[in-house]
Structure 1
């Protein structure tokens, strides 16, 4: 039987494409952060990234002539700006200096689970069995990737706690952002959230100026790249997709990131993954496929 393609199908495809852009660019951010973090402290790196992102988003707002967001969207924008754009980025940069990459990956990947739980509770999205099953499979894959990448490295208690803070602020930021998208566009929510995060990180301005003066050009370009692509572009495509699906499903989509990071590290840094790492990446992808599958009601 031939199925008629509806307007909803086109919206679903655009949202899925936007989510794909997000996870691809967020995965690339791990490679860029690894290089830039050798020359910039966590707060300076976060501020530099946010300044570059704010500049790009500000120009786009002017070109599109989009004014300030409606007042109803401000609480969500403030919450996501402080928690996700601000605290999350500093905590993640700092935590990755204290623990090995595998431990960081395992702890931070609690975030999507928290998004599903908070979204089901606070946003009344419920707890679809298919989503919960897919997230369980993906989380198991993230744990496998984490163990395989840890290489027996030492994980400090402070580092683990910082990664846990990153996971919690990431989840809380997404849950704050979702209601704001009912009142404002994806560009407005992203841009003004980035502005708020930049303001929150201004205490690191002195560090950024002094370290940018001595950092090699490639490290500075990595900071700019982080601001333009994984921040300005990827957070906007994320907001676009989030406005068209549930927070839980969007959180589950980010489990593609560990698999992509493994492949990018292999291609760009020459870090050849072992079979255990590849198996974990396959589990991550399988879990996302399960969680994103259509039930009877369909959906993005």
Structure 2
């Protein structure tokens, strides 16, 4: 639970970091820069701990999560948020945990515990309230919504692919080599990254490095550690706490005062997470 909490808090902080960097880095360049910083951090940790290569049985899951989650998800989300407001993006991406629960129940044989389904329904309602409260007038562009939906699908598929790999390799191995794979996938954006880094202010570059070291290297490792000790569905449900924390962090760091409806949505998100973590009595 402590590892899941670290993950949720750092992933929520990523929204603040992305806002600081997105104005100066394109979707692919930002994803590549973030992954390079994360890969360097994880490489140093692996060399220090003398972490061996993952066993062969873990590689299919590592490669799939690296391509889909570390690579595809980050590019698609960065791209979608260029045209869709934060509230709509949060609402669409929060389809991800529902897909994780469905895929986990079907493919990983985790089943569909009633507390999990009830908690996810409450949390999704809370995410919808937060999205509506933070949205501004006007309809969202269809292309941006589809990009955020594609990001949610790659996120869910990446998590489900990662779970079996954790039966054969450690959380650090799965995270590090997944991050390395995602970096390779994003290498076509190298030219954009070099060009934009030369013109971007230091604050935007520092935001990008922060995204790589903490929400990527650290948070993805704590995520994998927690995922190896529970079901994919229950871990996916914990991420519904992210919208509530984003509202609070945006208030503190960016001075964006939330409307009262945001607090109601945040309370629903947290209540749904608590409900999803409950175990049925025998």
TM over 0.5: yes
- How many residues of Structure 1 are paired with residues of Structure 2 in the alignment? 282
Q: Deviations over 1:219-240 (max 9, x none)?
A: 0000000000000000000000
Equivalent of 1:74, from 55, 59, 68? 59
Q: 2:93 maps to which residue?
A: 108
In 1, the alpha carbon distance for the partners of 2:28 and 2:250 equals 24
In 2, the alpha carbon distance for the partners of 1:126 and 1:81 equals 26
Gaps of 5+ in 2: none
In 2, the alpha carbon distance for the partners of 1:296 and 1:83 equals 37
The correspondence of residues 1-300 of structure 1 with structure 2, limited to 5 A, is 16-296=1-281
Q: Deviations over 1:27-76 (max 9, x none)?
A: 00000001100000000000000000000000100011011100000000
Gaps of 5+ in 1: 1-15
Could you tell me how far 1:152 is from its partner in structure 2? 1.3
Could you say what the CA RMSD is over the residues aligned between the two structures, in angstroms? 0.7
Contact conserved, 1:69 with 1:189, CA < 8 A, in 2? yes
Q: 1:12 maps to which residue?
A: none
Could you tell me how far 1:153 is from its partner in structure 2? 4.1
In structure 1, the residue corresponding to 2:82 is in which secondary structure? helix
TM superposition score normalised by structure 1: 0.93
Q: 1:6 maps to which residue?
A: none
